[in-house]
Amino acid sequence: MNAPMHTHPNGSMRLDAKVALVTGGTKNIGLATARAFAAAGADVIITARNAAGLEQARAELESLSTGKIVAIAADVTVDEDIVRSVDAVLEAFGGVDVLVNNAYYAGPLAGRRPALEMTSEQWDAIWRGNVLAPYRYIQLLEPTMRERGSGSIINLVSIAATGYVQGLMGYGASKSALATMTRYLAVDLGPAIRVNAISPGPVSPDGNPLGAIQRELADLSTLQRVGRADEIASLALFLASDASSLVTGHSLVADGGVLARAFAPS
């Protein structure tokens, strides 16, 4: 079986002539990833719920790139929005080469909630946002990657899928499911399409903690700090590009050593 052909030599982290979709692309990791892709030469589509935030992000990305930038309002918990956003992508570009499933739903869990106090409605919303939405984007866009001869899918999971973060059981369970989906699809969609995940610890746009959970995790980390969004974006660029042409089915952990320190003697 022939391996898919690559546009650039092995090791290149350029995305010239590539089309990339980043969901949740107006802030933090999503915006930083869209910036990195635009600077690397890709045409970039971003989605988010907030129209004003989309317009601001689109203007910034256009200043970084000679490629085309498209912003689409979409709520990942609403299947009709997912379908409509994919239709817009197909109309503008005919398909994608890179898909980053970054948008997520935390809902009431953002303020922490005891595990057994979650309602059926909360479970349904978090599952639709964090598991079904990435699946639907992959399901709808995979044929266009196959037509192009190759593709890279990147799912944003979380260390809450692997370790314990108090009050985030539902969120962690949904991200664990997404990590499992990543491994399965890497097998089922190969060899033309690579599927990987990034598992961040606490991350903010500038490295300053956002709230109590991030401060607590930063204190637990080996590096004793919160990550910056651009540090995660650099991993996304690696996975999107030919520099990672032999990497599929894996989750790259970028948590400053939170999980490693969990096993260190106290």
Hey, which residues are catalytic here?
171
Q: CA-to-CA distance for 118 and 151, rounded, in angstroms?
A: 37
Which residues make beta-bridge pairs with 70?
A: 45
Task: Give helix then strand counts, H and E, for the chain.
Answer: 9, 9
Q: Are strands 19-23 and 43-48 parallel, antiparallel or unpaired?
A: parallel
Q: CA-to-CA distance for 107 and 125, rounded, in angstroms?
A: 8
- Residue 205: exposure state from Cβ atoms within 10 A (0-12, 13-18, ≥19): middle
3-class DSSP state for residue 207?
coil
Q: How far is CA 184 from CA 36, 173, 191, 209, in A?
A: 27, 17, 13, 34
Which residue from 140, 77, 141, 68 is spatially nearest to 106, judged by alpha carbons? 77
Q: CA-to-CA distance for 266 and 262, rounded, in angstroms?
A: 9
* 167 Cα distance to chain centroid: 22
Two tokens, residue 81: 């929005």
Two tokens, residue 248: 């599929």
Q: Is 207 left (phi over 0), alpha (psi -120 to 50) or beta?
A: left
Q: CA-to-CA distance for 41 and 23, rounded, in angstroms?
A: 18
Two tokens, residue 67: 């490629």
